[in-house]
Amino acid sequence: MSKQEKVDITEISKCFKRCFANGDGQKILNYLCSISLERAMPANISNDELRHLEGQKYMVKLILNHINN
């Protein structure tokens, strides 16, 4: 996608909803949540590991926001 193309957020949300609407999609979404949002990290986590996990959480929350709107 070029920088000049505008993203239709409504259409993107519909695509996310279709991708995760069936049983397989739900299994994938549950897995993504389990390895990111539901993951507890030890106190000695490195800054790099924490940033990596926060990026994962951001992406999963982005997907959840699209399918729940």
Query: Does an H or E element contain 23, and which?
Result: helix 23-35
Please check whether residue 60 is in contact with residue 38, taking contact to mean a CB–CB distance below 8 angstroms: no
In a domain, 1, yes or no: no
In a domain, 2, yes or no: no
End-to-end CA distance of the chain: 24
In a domain, 31, yes or no: yes
pLDDT in tens, 41-60: 999 999 999 999 999 999 99
Question: Which pTM value belongs to this model?
Answer: 0.83
pLDDT in tens, 25-44: 999 999 999 999 999 999 99
Residue 6 has pLDDT above 90, yes or no: no
Average the pLDDT over 8-22 and give the result: 95
In a domain, 49, yes or no: yes
pLDDT score recorded for residue 7:
84
pLDDT score recorded for residue 2:
58
Q: Structural domain tally of the chain? A: 1
**Full residue range of the structural domain in which residue 25 is found:** 9-67
